[in-house]
Amino acid sequence: MSKNTVSNRFRTVDVDEYDENKFVDEEDGGENQLPDIVHVASLTPLCTGNLMEALQAVLKNPPINTKNQNVKDCAEGLVLKVLSAFKSSDVDKGVQSLDKNGVDLLMKYIYKGFETPSDNSSAVLLQWHEKALSAGGLGCIVRVLTARKTV
């Protein structure tokens, strides 16, 4: 009979924490990405009607490393705003102005946007999706699915 029969504290020990084979994911500390800078940088071209610049600005510095959900939501909202501001005929030109990494990033935002559909967002996003697909190919979508750091 063991000596200590009263205390149940051992039941709260998480044995898995001490398992030496446990897989620990690599954590990258993310700085708190201030969305304000991006906000300003993309709104000014948006107001003046320079949509190409707005697109470039909003796709710069994506909040990939940060864990702050607010920052990510903010960024996504901005991107959606810019994407909706484009005319249907300009979508193609917008996609052409991006480089390979830009197209990958755009695709990430498109799928992120699909997750929370609002009134007209899906239709706009589908248009962008078609153009981005012809620019980036299926590999682009695979990279969205396998990316470990989401936008």
Binding residues vs other proteins (CB under 8 A): 23, 100-101, 104, 136-140, 142-143, 146-148
DSSP code string of 67-103: --HHHHHHHHHHHHHHHHHS-GGGHHHHHHTS-HHHH
Q: Which is nearer to other proteins, 11 or 148 (CB)?
A: 148
The closest of 30, 53, 49, 27 to 41, measured between CA atoms, is 53
> What is the smallest separation between the CB atom of 143 and other proteins, expressed in angstroms?
5
> What is the smallest separation between the CB atom of 41 and other proteins, expressed in angstroms?
26
- Tokens 């304000």 locate to 36
Q: Which is nearer to other proteins, 29 or 139 (CB)?
A: 139
Q: Which is nearer to other proteins, 27 or 36 (CB)?
A: 27
Q: Which is nearer to other proteins, 15 or 138 (CB)?
A: 138
> What is the smallest separation between the CB atom of 21 and other proteins, expressed in angstroms?
8
> What is the smallest separation between the CB atom of 22 and other proteins, expressed in angstroms?
10
Instruction: Give the separation between CA 59 and CA 64, rounded to whole angstroms.
Output: 11
The closest of 77, 76, 38, 31 to 56, measured between CA atoms, is 38
Instruction: Give the separation between CA 60 and CA 49, rounded to whole angstroms.
Output: 19
